[in-house]
Amino acid sequence: MKVISILGSTGSIGTQTLEIVRENNHKFKVEALAANSNIDLLEAQVREFRPRITAIGDESKYEELKKRVGGLTYITAGQEGIVEAATTEGSDTVVSAIVGIAGLIPTYNAIKSGKNIALANKETLVTAGRIITEEVKRCKVSMLPVDSEHSAIFQSLCGSKKSEVSKIILTASGGPFRNKTLEELSTVTLEDALKHPNWSMGRKITIDSATLMNKGLEVIEARWLFDIMPEAIEVCVHPQSIIHSAVEYVDGSVIAQLGLPDMKLPIQYALTYPDRLAISGEKLSLTSIGNLTFYKPDTDKFKCLGLAFRALSMGDSACVVLNGANEEAVRLFLDRKIGFLDIGCLIEKTLDKHKVMNNMNINDVVALDRWSRETILNLYQVGCIR
């Protein structure tokens, strides 16, 4: 029996993780749940899965949650409470599925306390890839990808030698705006951006998928997860989302992982590796799919992807700035305060203001994240957007 803690249990990844637990209750036990503010769903999850510890990020919801389920579980609140859930002694694996840099400190502490990590929260590696991968090695824990592309790369690397890898091919659906012109992109709405063609996900990652920043963040995630240089990572637009990503070897062989777009597969594999468990439901039929197509990404139209490569070449600290600025820009877009193309423009201006720092520790990352948010909000307030 694997004992797991789920950080971000009320989100898209969190609820799908709990579906896997529900379908395999002889294999998994939930030790801790953590979420930000949706106490109705969290209450239902506590009643069904009976975690020993439950953490609520939003401290103003603590009393109400305690009133509802305080007799069934030990309740903690705030970032300290989330860290307590992430490090609780009873669990062996932490599913890191909080959205944004809010997932960093809990994941960092989970590693330090010896937990294996099933990583959905890509922002952890984007902002602190070097620090996190060093801690993973030092603490002798495993960090397995939940992100579908990285799960595909991980599966395509199984049994091979790192020295024989020549390239990673990271596929991207291209998002809802793949066929739009730059001019059309200047008038797309929030509703258009929230309609992803292939995946149903949280709001922030859905917007990141429309700007292609999600792919940029995934390039940085892959750089750290697989210890591979950015020059050896190629992004390829593949609208059907059937090939989840691939690895090219020195002899020209390309090994890919294919499947229908369903996050349950990579979530489950991160929890059962090296074993595979049956999943009910439809399976991939290549003959009913018919065509698989591939394109080069257009970084003039989708500036955010180019900005991610730029941040990687600038240095680790620039990736922190890229991420913090992106989180704030996406928030402004979700609040209808800026247009779709303004997201990339504001992030670029924030990166322009950044002076690269070396040898960061985790506190430096947190401080720099705050600086990037203040800087982008300031640019927005003074109207310095385009």
C-alpha–C-alpha distance, residues 28 and 23, integer Å? 9
Which range binds ligand NAD by CB under 6 A, 10-18, 226-234, 320-328, 330-338?
Answer: 10-18
Q: Which residue is nearest to ligand NAD (CB)?
A: 11
Q: Is 221 in the site for Mg ion (CB under 5 A)?
A: no
- Tell me: does residue 82 bind ligand NAD (CB under 6 A): yes
211 binds ligand NAD per the rule CB under 6 A: no
What residue 210 binds from Mg ion, ligand NAD, none (CB within 5 to 8 A, per partner kind)?
none
Tell me: does residue 327 bind Mg ion (CB under 5 A).
no
The backbone torsions φ and ψ at residue 169, rounded to the nearest 5 degrees and listed phi first, read -110, 110
Draw the binding track, 126-165, toward Mg ion (x: CB under 5 A; -: no contact).
---------------------xxx----------------
Considering only 11, 51, 175, 259, the residue that binds ligand NAD (CB under 6 A) is 11
DSSP per-residue string spanning 106-145:
HHHHHHHTT-EEEE--THHHHHHHHHHHHHHHHTT--EEE
The C-alpha angle 167, 199, 207, rounded to 5 degrees, equals 85
The interface partner of residue 122, options being ligand NAD, Mg ion, none and the CB cut-off 5 to 8 Å by kind, is: ligand NAD
Contact 242, 284 (CB under 8 A): yes
Side-chain-side CA neighbours of 137 within 13 Å: the count stands at 9
Q: Encode 309-348: b = buried (16+ Cβ within 10 Å), e = exposed.
A: bebbebebbbbbbbbbbbbbbbbbbbeeebbbbbbbbbbb
Choice from 52, 61, 122, 331 touching ligand NAD (CB under 6 A): 122
Q: Are 337 and 380 in contact (CB under 8 A)?
A: yes
Size of the site for ligand NAD (CB under 6 A): 28
Helix (H) or strand (E) holding 105: helix 104-112
In the bound state with Mg ion, the residue whose beta carbon lies nearer, of 149 and 328, is 149
- Give me the least distance between CB of 118 and ligand NAD, in Å please: 11
Task: State yes or no: residue 35 binds ligand NAD (CB under 6 A).
Answer: yes
Among the listed ranges 5-13, 185-193, 230-238, 336-344, the one in contact with ligand NAD (CB under 6 A) is 5-13
**265 vs 360, which CB is nearer to ligand NAD?**
265
Contact 170, 233 (CB under 8 A): yes
Does 328 participate in binding Mg ion (rule CB under 5 A)? no
Q: How far apart are CA 82 and CA 98, in angstroms?
A: 10
Rule CB under 6 A: say whether 205 interacts with ligand NAD: yes
Looking at the chain, which runs of residues are DSSP E strands?
2-7, 28-35, 53-56, 74-77, 93-96, 116-119, 143-145, 165-172, 233-237, 243-249, 254-258
Binding ligand NAD (rule: CB under 6 A), the pick from 70, 197, 202, 261 is 202
Dihedrals φ, ψ of 245, to 5°? Answer: 165, 175
Which listed residue (84, 135, 147, 221) binds ligand NAD by CB under 6 A?
A: 147
Query: 245 to 304, contacts with ligand NAD by CB under 6 A?
Result: 263
Segment interacting with ligand NAD, rule: CB under 6 A, options 118-126, 237-245, 322-330, 339-347: 118-126
Q: Which does 102 bind (CB under 5 to 8 A by kind): ligand NAD, Mg ion, none?
A: ligand NAD
Tell me which stretch binds ligand NAD (CB under 6 A): 184-192, 194-202, 296-304, 331-339. 194-202
Other C-beta atoms lying within 10 Å of the C-beta of residue 71: 7
Do residues 90 and 78 make contact, with C-beta atoms less than 8 angstroms apart?
no
Give the residue among 246, 264, 249 at the shortest CA–CA distance from 171.
Answer: 246
Q: Which listed residue (51, 57, 339, 344) binds ligand NAD by CB under 6 A?
A: 57
Return residues touching ligand NAD (CB under 6 A): 8-14, 34-36, 38, 57, 82, 97-99, 102, 120-123, 147, 199, 201-202, 204-205, 263
Return residues touching Mg ion (CB under 5 A): 147-149
